[in-house]
């Protein structure tokens, strides 16, 4: 039965690639069925092929009817991914959150140095009214105008909105209506998040003039926290890479190099001091990779933590929204503001976030992905230094290994969902307008994904279920584990929905950053962030900034 459905699904896709008129004039033949069997690794008898023909024609008629129904990118499938292992219950009791102690913060002699202060520091300066939100907003707007073209990291300045929000913040703070550490803080958002009244281009030529009459939930939540949106930042076209319709976003540490992607502008602008923090998204490395390249700190939250309403869909079962900042605790502050349900994104699961900045490493089970450290020869010195630093901090490191499941074999789950999200673009031929047309770019991936049988997609998700249970067993043995940022772990934890913090872990001889990643338990960003914060404070790599963009080149 399985092989029968797989074959007809593939053949139907092959047939639907033709114009509709051609389908009617050229009914599916047994010879056509036989021609595609090798793509499935299957073989049918002549009688089986003949029996399929009527079913396939019926399917094609169904496809034609479905295609008459408008399905914009914002419409999700009725199937909702559930990352929870059997028996798992997310924590519900919310306790008061305490941020780490903050010493005296003063305005620097060179006002422009504020561009590289942390959110915590900027928030304190605004709260104590040593600076105003309007002053800070104008500083960042000036830097965006000055350096944005050089980095190719800005799609739209939201200047009018930013100045309005900054003035409102100053009035509220002066009246004693302080909303918290994000009140008055300027930030940028990846331009796949809709903002009413502004273009939302998805970084792609076919959508460069698109205006969505909606504001994404994440943007609304940040506005409620008092944050100030100063820019919509670049992303690789349709969330792939760092090349968008207007250019290639640059790495602030090396302008000859791209910033990586797809949260290209979010990482570059944060690293270069053009925003205090930014919002990115990750499906398979889109926060981790540009954060590594640009030396920023990024949080990929647990799947189901942050609403994706108003965000471009690429993969409904893998997309996640998270902050890109200069410090781990800044990520915690932003995450606390954007987490939680909105009643619209049905994948969101309510859970508490009980962050406390101080944890005792000796009381935690901190693992390290042993084979990944052994395999990553390029960054071996940096990786070993990270393990030694963790031991110095009191960690009794426990070697762990990922489940023995061929994770890359599951990667077509993303391709199938992305092809569905942009089905109309493929069928209309609009994909030819995308800048990149190489074999591994989206246009070709979308086309090839039409040949993934529905049965194989479901089978892959059944293996994914087994992967989730296996990861639950692994995480029973540790509270957090540390790993090189790239390798099988990156795809695996994006498939299982586990949270990740990526942070700078040193600099190469050429002066460019490298990173390390910490992986936490599902819905336990609190412990994950606390561990990563202590490591970051002990190493201090986050305090170094790109000389080309720092005042006086420091």
Q: pLDDT (tens digit, 9 = 90+) per residue, 261-291?
A: 999 999 999 999 999 999 999 999 999 999 9
Instruction: Specify if 368 maps to a domain.
Output: yes
For the segment 418-439, the average pLDDT, to the nearest whole number, is 95
Q: Which residues contact 72 (CB under 8 A, 6 or more apart)?
A: none
Nearest-angstrom CA–CA distance, 236 and 252? 17
Question: Which position has the token pair 């105008």?
Answer: 145
pLDDT tens digit sequence for 357-382: 999 999 999 999 999 999 999 999 99
Please answer whether residues 77 and 33 qualify as being in contact, where contact means their C-beta atoms are separated by less than 8 angstroms. Answer: no
**Residue 106 in this model has a pLDDT that exceeds 60:** yes
How is residue 91 annotated by DSSP? -
pLDDT of residue 26: 64
Number of domains within the chain: 1
Percent of the chain with pLDDT over 70: 95
The closest of 220, 427, 207 to 310, measured between CA atoms, is 220
The closest of 460, 514, 467, 529 to 493, measured between CA atoms, is 467
Which CATH number covers residue 157? 3.90.1300.10
- Element at 4 (helix H, strand E): helix 2-16
pLDDT tens digit sequence for 443-469: 999 999 998 999 999 999 999 999 999
How is residue 433 annotated by DSSP? G
Give the active site residues: 190, 262, 286
Instruction: Specify if 237 maps to a domain.
Output: yes
pLDDT of residue 417: 98
**Residue 21 in this model has a pLDDT that exceeds 50:** no
Question: Which two tokens mark 356?
Answer: 């406390």
pLDDT of residue 3: 36
**Residue 4 in this model has a pLDDT that exceeds 60:** no
How is residue 70 annotated by DSSP? -
pLDDT of residue 10: 47
Nearest-angstrom CA–CA distance, 544 and 52? 64
Instruction: Specify if 118 maps to a domain.
Output: yes
Distance between alpha carbon 483 and the CA centroid of its chain, in Å? 18
The closest of 487, 482, 289 to 388, measured between CA atoms, is 482
- Element at 155 (helix H, strand E): strand 154-157
**Residue 23 in this model has a pLDDT that exceeds 60:** no
Nearest-angstrom CA–CA distance, 65 and 86? 38
Nearest-angstrom CA–CA distance, 110 and 550? 11
The closest of 134, 202, 124 to 164, measured between CA atoms, is 134
Instruction: Specify if 48 maps to a domain.
Output: no
User: 505 lies in which domain range?
Assistant: 111-404+463-553
Tell me the pTM: 0.94
Q: Confidence band (pLDDT; 50, 70, 90) for 328?
A: very high
For the segment 513-525, the average pLDDT, to the nearest whole number, is 98
Measured in degrees and rounded to the nearest 5, phi and psi for residue 45 equal: -80, 160
Instruction: Specify if 40 maps to a domain.
Output: no
Pairing of strands 228-233, 186-190: parallel
Instruction: Specify if 9 maps to a domain.
Output: no
**Residue 213 in this model has a pLDDT that exceeds 80:** yes
Instruction: Specify if 290 maps to a domain.
Output: yes
pLDDT of residue 425: 97
Please answer whether residues 244 and 227 qualify as being in contact, where contact means their C-beta atoms are separated by less than 8 angstroms. Answer: no
Please answer whether residues 275 and 142 qualify as being in contact, where contact means their C-beta atoms are separated by less than 8 angstroms. Answer: no
Q: Confidence band (pLDDT; 50, 70, 90) for 554?
A: low
pLDDT of residue 56: 84
pLDDT tens digit sequence for 57-69: 888 889 899 999 9
Q: Confidence band (pLDDT; 50, 70, 90) for 12?
A: very low
Instruction: Specify if 498 maps to a domain.
Output: yes
Nearest-angstrom CA–CA distance, 325 and 291? 9
pLDDT of residue 260: 98
Nearest-angstrom CA–CA distance, 303 and 387? 28
Q: What is the DSSP string of 508-544?
A: -TTS-EEEEEEEE-TT-HHHHHHHHHHHHHHH-GGG-
Please answer whether residues 140 and 274 qualify as being in contact, where contact means their C-beta atoms are separated by less than 8 angstroms. Answer: yes
For the segment 218-243, the average pLDDT, to the nearest whole number, is 98
For the segment 20-40, the average pLDDT, to the nearest whole number, is 72
Q: Confidence band (pLDDT; 50, 70, 90) for 37?
A: confident
Nearest-angstrom CA–CA distance, 199 and 204? 12
Percent of the chain with pLDDT over 90: 88
Angle separating helix axes 264-271 and 133-151, nearest 10 degrees: 120
Mean pLDDT of the chain: 94
């Amino acid at each position: 039965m399985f092989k029968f459905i797989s074959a007809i699904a593939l053949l139907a896709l092959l047939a639907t690639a033709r114009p509709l008129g051609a389908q009617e004039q050229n009914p599916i033949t047994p010879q056509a069925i036989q021609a595609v069997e090798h793509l499935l690794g299957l073989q049918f008898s002549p009688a089986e092929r003949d029996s399929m023909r009527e079913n396939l024609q019926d399917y094609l008629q169904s496809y034609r009817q479905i295609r008459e129904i408008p399905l914009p990118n914002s419409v999700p499938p009725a199937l909702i991914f559930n990352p929870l292992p059997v028996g798992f219950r997310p924590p519900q009791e919310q306790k008061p959150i305490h941020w780490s102690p903050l010493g005296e913060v003063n305005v620097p002699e060179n006002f422009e140095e504020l561009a590289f202060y942390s959110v915590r520091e900027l928030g304190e300066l605004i709260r104590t009214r040593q600076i105003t939100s309007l002053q800070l907003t104008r500083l960042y707007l000036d830097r965006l105008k000055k350096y944005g073209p050089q980095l190719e990291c800005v799609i739209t300045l939201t200047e009018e909105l930013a100045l309005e929000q900054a003035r409102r913040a100053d009035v509220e703070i002066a009246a004693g209506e302080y909303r918290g550490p994000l009140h008055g803080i300027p930030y940028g958002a990846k331009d796949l998040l809709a903002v009413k009244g502004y273009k939302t281009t998805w970084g792609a030529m076919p959508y460069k003039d698109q205006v969505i009459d909606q504001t994404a939930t994440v943007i609304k939540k940040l506005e409620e926290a008092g944050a100030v949106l100063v820019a919509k930042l670049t992303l690789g076209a349709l969330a792939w890479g760092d090349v968008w319709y207007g250019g290639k976003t640059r790495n602030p540490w090396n302008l000859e190099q791209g910033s990586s992607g797809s949260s290209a502008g979010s990482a570059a602008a944060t690293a270069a001091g053009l925003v205090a923090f930014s919002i990115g998204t990750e499906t398979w490395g889109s926060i981790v990779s540009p954060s590594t390249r640009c030396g920023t700190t990024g949080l990929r939250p647990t799947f189901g933590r942050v609403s994706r309403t108003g965000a471009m869909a690429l993969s409904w079962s893998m997309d996640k929204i998270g902050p890109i900042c200069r410090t781990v605790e800044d990520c915690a502050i932003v995450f606390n503001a954007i987490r939680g349900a909105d009643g619209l994104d049905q994948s969101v699961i309510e859970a508490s976030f009980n962050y406390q900045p101080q944890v005792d490493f000796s009381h935690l089970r901190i693992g390290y992905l042993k084979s990944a450290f052994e395999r990553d020869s390029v960054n071996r010195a940096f990786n070993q230094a990270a393990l030694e630093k963790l031991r110095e901090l009191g960690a009794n490191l426990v070697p762990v290994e990922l489940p023995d499941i061929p994770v890359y074999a599951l990667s077509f789950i993303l391709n199938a969902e992305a092809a569905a999200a942009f089905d109309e673009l493929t069928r209309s031929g609009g994909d030819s307008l995308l800048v990149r047309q190489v074999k591994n770019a989206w246009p070709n991936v979308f086309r090839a994904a039409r040949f993934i049988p529905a049965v194989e997609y479901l089978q892959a998700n059944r293996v994914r279920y087994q992967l989730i249970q296996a990861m639950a067993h692994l995480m029973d043995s540790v509270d957090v584990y540390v790993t090189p940022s790239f390798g099988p772990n990156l795809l695996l934890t994006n498939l299982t929905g586990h949270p990740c913090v990526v942070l700078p872990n040193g600099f190469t001889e050429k002066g460019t950053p490298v990173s390390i990643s910490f992986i936490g338990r599902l819905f336990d960003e609190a412990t994950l962030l606390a561990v990563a914060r202590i490591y970051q404070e002990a190493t201090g790599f986050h305090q170094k900034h790109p000389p080309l963009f720092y005042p006086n080149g420091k």
